[in-house]
Amino acid sequence: MKIEKHALAGVPFKAAHSSGGEMTPTIIVLHDTAGRMDAGSSVGWFCSEDCNTSAHIVVERDGSLTQLVPFNRKAWHAGASTYNGKTGCNAFAIGIEIVNPGKLDKDGRAWFHKKTEKGYAGAKRVKTKEHGDGYWLDYTPEQIDAVTALCRDLVETYGITDITTHWAVSPGRKVDTNPLFPLEDVKRAVFVPEPAPVVAAVPSRKAAVASSGEAGAAAGALTLFGLSIADALNYGGQFLGIIKSYGLVAVAALLLVAALMFSAIKFFQRQDLAEGRYTPRKPS
């Protein structure tokens, strides 16, 4: 994703009903929408005249994104909040809303469900100090991937220093994101560069034998001699393989080289004979 003029290129932009003035973002705060999971439901709410809250981005269940507020302007997502002693996170935080119903009861129903309404299947019971005891719905892999990629681009563009959650900046007041969100995994993927692969140096067979202290000097010498012969045979095999691969071309080249060498020898013999350095051997 590419950020141009504080907006995601290629991502739909639908202006939220409420937003503030300019700001310089330094952190990202993640949220749950805590509403219905129908596609476009949360976006529609943020854009409606009845809504006084907002966020910069909404991430749907399928990982698709909608931007509501430019990244250099305040969105009303964190409310009463504190980060590292600094209050009012809306003044320096980008808010990302992830479509998730929030805390559920044992039947998978959220606050907005009627008692006669069927709840969401697959809710998991988790109890933490920050979230209390409740049932929660997993985020989709597409959401996790989209949030990770988005955070990476925001960090690169704005120099974001941290990714946190609503419950962390508003402890005791908020419980989103829910305890199933892999916050630390996302942070590692965004901030910790992957180490370069380590290529171990592979010592030659001769070096391995020469450095070994297990064999005696004589045995080591014999082994090295044997390895030398093996290498010669190996290289000879490679040479024959080349000849076999290239066929007549290789044979012709070898014959040409041999003819040139024979001509050179005869030339020097004639020169030595003329200057008295060579006498032909008489047949016996």
User: Which tens digits make up the pLDDT trace of 150-184?
Assistant: 999 999 999 999 999 999 999 999 999 999 999 99
pLDDT bracket for residue 205 (50, 70, 90): very low
Phi, psi for 167 (deg, rounded to 5) = -65, -25
Higher per-residue confidence, 270 vs 40:
40
pLDDT over 80 at 255, yes or no:
no
pLDDT over 60 at 5, yes or no:
yes
Structural tokens at position 254: 């070898």
Higher per-residue confidence, 79 vs 231:
79
pLDDT over 90 at 246, yes or no:
no
Burial zone of 207 (CB within 10 Å; 0-12 exposed, 13-18 middle, 19+ buried): exposed
Higher per-residue confidence, 249 vs 71:
71
CA distances from 210 to 2, 77, 213, 227, 282 (A): 56, 68, 8, 11, 52
Tell me what the pLDDT averaged over the chain comes to.
84
Q: Per-residue pLDDT averaged across 40-60, rounded? A: 97
Nearby residues of 276 by Cβ (< 8 Å), 6 or more positions away = none
Q: Which residue has the tokens 């009463």?
A: 80
Tell me the chain's radius of gyration from C-alpha atoms: 37
Report yes or no: 169 and 81 within 8 Å, Cβ to Cβ. Answer: yes
pLDDT over 50 at 104, yes or no:
yes
Chain centroid, CA 85 distance in Å: 33
CA distances from 2 to 150, 152, 153 (A): 9, 11, 7
pLDDT over 90 at 240, yes or no:
no
| Nearest CA among 235, 234, 211, 239 for reference residue 223 | 211
Q: Per-residue pLDDT averaged across 216-225, rounded? A: 46
pLDDT bracket for residue 257 (50, 70, 90): low
Distance CA 201, CA 59 (A): 46
Higher per-residue confidence, 51 vs 193:
51
pLDDT bracket for residue 192 (50, 70, 90): confident
Buried b / exposed e along 29-62 (16+ C-beta atoms within 10 A): bbbbbbbeeeeeebbebbbeeeeebbbbbbbbee
**What's residue 209's pLDDT?**
44
pLDDT bracket for residue 122 (50, 70, 90): very high
pLDDT over 70 at 236, yes or no:
no
For the chain, list the domains and their CATH numbers: 3-191 (3.40.80.10), 205-274 (no CATH)
**What's residue 152's pLDDT?**
97
